[in-house]
Structure 1
Amino acid sequence: MLIPDNIDKFESHGERLLYIKFKNDKSATKFYVLHSVFTNYHFKNITGELDFLVLAPGHGIFAIEVKHGGVRRKGGTWFYENRHGKVTATKKSPFDQVSGTMNSIRAFLLSKLADKKENYRFSKILFGTGVAFTSMNEFVDFGQEAHSWQILTRQSMKLPVYNYIDTLSKGLHNQHKRKSWYDVNLSIPTDKDCKKIIQILRGDFDIDYSEINKIIDSDYLIEEHTKEQFHLLDILNYNDRCLIQGPAGTGKTIMAIEAARRKILAGKKVALLCFNRGLGLKLKKSLEYLFENKMERSFSGTFHTFMSDNTKLASPVSGDDKTDFYKETLPFEFLLQNEYIPEEEKYDLLILDESQDLITPFYIEVFNSMLKGGLKDGSWVLFGDFSNQAIYLNNPIESINLLNEISTFTNFPPLKINCRNTKKIASHNTLLTGVDKPDFTGKSIDGDSIVDVFPSKNKQVECVEDVMKELLKEGVPIEKVTLLSPKRIENTFIKDSLFVNELISNGLTFSTIHSFKGLENTIIIILGFEEITSEESKRLLYVGISRARQKLYLILNEELKHDYQKIIDKNIIKLSE
């Protein structure tokens, strides 16, 4: 049991990794894991904080300090380097730090137990410490400062986290078992003891037991790379040109951002580009901190923004003119203005996310002009779904043929593990669009059932309003919900709802499916389809459904119910393949 169990922001990436390990380890479900335990009752300092306090019935109580990033010790001073390159130094070792805070919390607990018998019982429970070095690949001997069994490394994190707690328990009990005060029975906490400790400590931190935790699981799970994805990122170091394909939800965008981050930190000039505006904003935001740290030579965002910033050309107002402008006028002007750009000013690496929307003859010429060595001899990585998500360009096979004509590249086997959607959402996508059933890991969430309703045309607004009212009643933050439609809002029945429009002005998002490509949200409500049988509708449904992480609503005209059931009956066999 994690307390709290809905954290989406962490002080360090290492804490995030360990939190995920505790959350997903089924063998550790009987542990009570408190994250970020703060105390005002520290022996030596004004305050103190534990990264994790693990109450393990049958094992012991363990305080765990997490250190992520670069760590070194020189002349008795410890140096820590974070992901931004900032180095901090301290004379206090992490083992001393966690021990001091743990003993302070233990003393606080005992001070709250007025009953002598109860105080005696809890004074016999063993409290131990450990330090997780989540960036350290191999074990380092820390000498007299720590026992080997106290240390968790990147290698040992490949095992269930239960193994680490069990190792801490055995090490702690072996350390004390020969001491006169040690009692093998009293030293081990029961489940009742652990619950009592939680009750005492609860005032020191905020525990969220709200209903929302049953609806929205922690969003950080989406960012957990599978072993397959980590493997591919490592392989990028040995292949100059790569095409990485995969269906929606397999983590392509996360991988693209991570690949860019690694190369930028290595001093490379990187262009991370996409087609969609919403996704472009996400890419830009994800790497902004690097640009703030004097790495502004690189670029992340939409391809069109990249060209517009370079040429200083403004987009026309009308829709038809815009299409021609972005397809031909803007790239042509970019080529004219950058015809004689020196090779040393070009980009070292080009990364395209949702690349199936960007491989056109005109765009290819721009890529050739901006990349050292061009597409033929330069370094590039293309992430895309060339089978299902090409809703801007309708012939993805032609795009791959274009690439084959230009250069040789490594075309990796497609990503298969879905790390975004619940099993029920991904399975429903197969039922409704006919796409192949994705693979899941043992950690994948089964999730809530899909809610599909078929109101008459004059009841659709009321239906959406009812769904929103129910979600708000359950305490779902409004920004966790997105309404998706194949049409703009002014062309849907939503435009007539004062209630929904007020919610939109307060943080609820409405988007066309086209504009939401590459993005996601906890809860997705799909509406506005006039038909669901054409290839175009299937592509849009595929993209729309795959945006939902935890909960999916389909609100469709009652006239579509027959087609809906017919499609599901046809595709249901795919779930057994």
Structure 2
Amino acid sequence: MAIMIPEKPRDFAPASQEGLIFDALALLSDDYYVFHSFRITDTRDGTFHESETDFVILNRTKGVICLEAKAGQVRYENGCWLYGNGIPMHNGGPFNQASANKYKLMRYISDGSMEFVLEKCKFFHAVWFPSVSKDRLKSMTLPSEGDKTLVLTKEALDGPEEFIDRIYALHLPSNIETRLSEMECDRLIREIFCPQFNVFPSASFEADLKKIVFHRLLDEQAGILDFLDEQLTAAVNGAAGTGKTMIAVEKARRHAIAGERVLFLCFNSQLKDYLEENYAKDLVDYYTIAGFACKMCNAVAPDYAKLKDRLEDYYISGSFPYKHVIIDEGQDFGSEAIEETDIIQLIHDIIVDAYQGGTFYVFYDRLQLVQAREMPKFIGDLDCRLTLYRNCRNTENIAITSLRPITENKPKVFEGAVKGAPAKIHFCESVQNEKERIDSIIDNLAADGYRDIVLLTCKTEKASILSDYVNKGKYRNKYLFTTCRKFKGLEADVVVLLDVDKTTFEQDNVLIFYVGTSRARIKLEIAAILSDDDCKEILTSTLNYQGKVRRAKKDFAGALNAIGTIGIQ
């Protein structure tokens, strides 16, 4: 039996008898391929072209035949091919149509990447009149474009192979002989006659859709912005992912549009660089608090005592160059040097006392207190304090995982939030095993179409297992590698959290885990070196696990709302 593609005939007009011919061609031996209703569509020089060949027959050792089928009564009168009802045939009749389709197919192959096939494969065209007998054909006088050798009659319906092979046996003026290898024949089928593909949303496409959802301004955030229009000073608290930086940036933008200068302070230099790169705006100056001290004092290192003197001069003269001050990551401004000089409170006083309509806003997360021991005093002194509750950065599963070690409260997500895939915890047996696992994770993510991938260590860069493999902050010269502390305030589609071990979940370090995991928007992968005993201890001491520990690693992953894996995935 021939290989029929498709396995059943496509839709056809009953009068054409293509179903009968399809069944007959199926009787060919299994080294024949038969393609029914083969269409070629292309545009050339702005003109749309379309053709359809009733059947294309392919044999690796014999060649290709483009076959037109014409059933019922057919006439040729006054130089015109006519159907039995007298209607003229399109394309100049069956022979011209079959010949034209043959050359279109050859051109289609030539335009692709298989032009070499034309030099090692015969191409023919033929016409099948299933209603005409062999004897009747002998008595017919065909027009000049028709050759009876290229005609199949109703006798071929019982077994077409000998009639087909008679055509294949013809010689061509070019002396081409068919000599396609099995690989070449398979490629011809796969790329020309029957290409196969599967259209599915890539991971990157899904990530783009999720980011569109995340970046919508929630009612809660819009309400905060509207409220701040009437409030000159405020401290806005919110867990990771609740949109604090988004609101802060939008508030700065609105002031700049109104023609008023804004000082935007944060703690991390990477966050400052990101804000400058993505939200640059005339009249908005982004600084770290250290960078601002250097700028104000014209120094290469921050001297907060000198900054205090400079700010006092501004207070007296009323010449501070900014009308609005916005502080992001406010919880990190509690270092001793900053607190002792009281410079943030002084900036607040300058704004409130010197500028009518001047504003001072602080955005902070008490759960991300990793750069200082205590919350800065100036935050508690502000009269107005607001709280954001709904997570709009992370998928619901990532938000749950990030909060599990530090609170029993479930994250509040907005209606229609993306559920997302659970985080994966990859349990590694050794440092070398973790390095191999990280490479495997990255390769799989890249193959899935993810591009925005960041590697975060729960330790320092020098203490990380990747310390010897990082060049200028990049792993494999491509992927950003940094600490959870330094990446605080930023986010990425995918976070690979590494150097996770027993110490990660100790009281002094567990907030680092929260900071790192909450940076992931779409996907979270965690590489950990944890024994069964380590998992048991963390379950009882940190995660308040109440059940009986049966399979320590699996129970540990489950307690973190994650999937545990062992071995290269």
What's the secondary structure of 1:470's corresponding residue?
helix
- Residue 430 of structure 1 is matched in structure 2 by 403
**Stretch moving more, 345-354 or 244-253:** 345-354
- Residue 448 of structure 2 is matched in structure 1 by 474
What's the secondary structure of 2:371's corresponding residue?
coil
- Residue 235 of structure 1 is matched in structure 2 by 227
- Residue 364 of structure 1 is matched in structure 2 by 344
What's the secondary structure of 2:313's corresponding residue?
coil
What's the secondary structure of 1:250's corresponding residue?
coil
How many angstroms apart in 2 are the aligned matches of 1:573 and 1:527? 19
2:277 is equivalent to residue 285 of structure 1: yes
TM-score normalised by length of structure 1? 0.55
2:226 is equivalent to residue 255 of structure 1: no
- Residue 288 of structure 2 is matched in structure 1 by 302
How many angstroms apart in 2 are the aligned matches of 1:435 and 1:282? 32
CA deviation after TM superposition for structure 1 residue 403, in Å? 4.2
Percent identity for Structure 1 against Structure 2: 22
What's the secondary structure of 1:558's corresponding residue?
coil
How many angstroms apart in 1 are the aligned matches of 2:419 and 2:225? 28
TM-score normalised by length of structure 2? 0.55
How many angstroms apart in 2 are the aligned matches of 1:454 and 1:573? 15
- Residue 414 of structure 2 is matched in structure 1 by 441
CA contact (8 A) 2:405 2:560 kept: no
CA deviation after TM superposition for structure 1 residue 112, in Å? 7.9
Q: 2:364 aligns with which of 367, 379, 384?
A: 384
Q: 2:257 aligns with which of 262, 265, 275?
A: 265
Q: 1:535 aligns with which of 488, 492, 507?
A: 507
Alignment of 1:317-396 (within 5 A): 326=302, 330-341=303-314, 342-359=317-334, 360-362=339-341, 363-368=343-348, 371=351, 373=353, 379-386=359-366, 388-396=367-375
Name the Cα RMSD after superposition: 3.3
- Residue 130 of structure 1 is matched in structure 2 by none
- Residue 41 of structure 2 is matched in structure 1 by none
**Which amino acid letter does the alignment assign opposite residue 486 of structure 1?**
C
- Residue 513 of structure 1 is matched in structure 2 by 484
What's the secondary structure of 1:448's corresponding residue?
coil
CA deviation after TM superposition for structure 1 residue 446, in Å? 0.7
- Residue 496 of structure 2 is matched in structure 1 by 525
Which digits, 9 at most, give the CA deviation of each residue in 1:102-160, with x for residues without a partner? xxxxxxx9978999xxxxxxxxxxxxxxxxxxxxxxxxxxxxxxxxxxxxxxxxxxxxx
2:314 is equivalent to residue 314 of structure 1: no
Distance 1:425-1:268 versus aligned 2 partners, 3 A rule = same
**Which amino acid letter does the alignment assign opposite residue 465 of structure 2?**
F
Structure 2 alignment gaps of length 5 or more: 1-45, 53-198, 547-557, 562-569
CA deviation after TM superposition for structure 1 residue 562, in Å? 2.6
How many angstroms apart in 2 are the aligned matches of 1:274 and 1:395? 17
Higher helix share: 1
Number of equivalenced pairs: 348
Q: 2:216 aligns with which of 207, 210, 224?
A: 224
- Residue 570 of structure 1 is matched in structure 2 by 545
Which digits, 9 at most, give the CA deviation of each residue in 1:48-107, with x for residues without a partner? xxxxxxxxxxxxxxxxxxxxxxxxxxxxxxxxxxxxxxxxxxxxxxxxxxxxxxxxxxxx
- Residue 488 of structure 1 is matched in structure 2 by 460
How many angstroms apart in 1 are the aligned matches of 2:448 and 2:474? 16
- Residue 162 of structure 2 is matched in structure 1 by none
Which digits, 9 at most, give the CA deviation of each residue in 1:247-298, with x for residues without a partner? 000000000000000011112221111111111112223442x22xxx3xx4
Distance 1:241-1:474 versus aligned 2 partners, 3 A rule = same
CA contact (8 A) 1:484 1:526 kept: yes
Moved over 6 A (4+): 109-115, 374-377, 500-503, 571-575
CA deviation after TM superposition for structure 1 residue 214, in Å? 4.7
Distance 1:339-1:411 versus aligned 2 partners, 3 A rule = closer
Distance 1:573-1:263 versus aligned 2 partners, 3 A rule = same
CA contact (8 A) 1:352 1:383 kept: yes
**Which amino acid letter does the alignment assign opposite residue 364 of structure 2?**
G
Distance 1:452-1:215 versus aligned 2 partners, 3 A rule = farther
CA deviation after TM superposition for structure 1 residue 356, in Å? 1.1
**Which amino acid letter does the alignment assign opposite residue 535 of structure 2?**
K
Higher strand share: 2
How many angstroms apart in 1 are the aligned matches of 2:516 and 2:319? 42
Compare CA radii of gyration and give the structure with the larger one.
2
- Residue 525 of structure 2 is matched in structure 1 by 553
CA contact (8 A) 2:318 2:354 kept: no
CA deviation after TM superposition for structure 1 residue 540, in Å? 0.6
Which digits, 9 at most, give the CA deviation of each residue in 1:440-485, with x for residues without a partner? 12321111121102212231111111111211222322xx111111
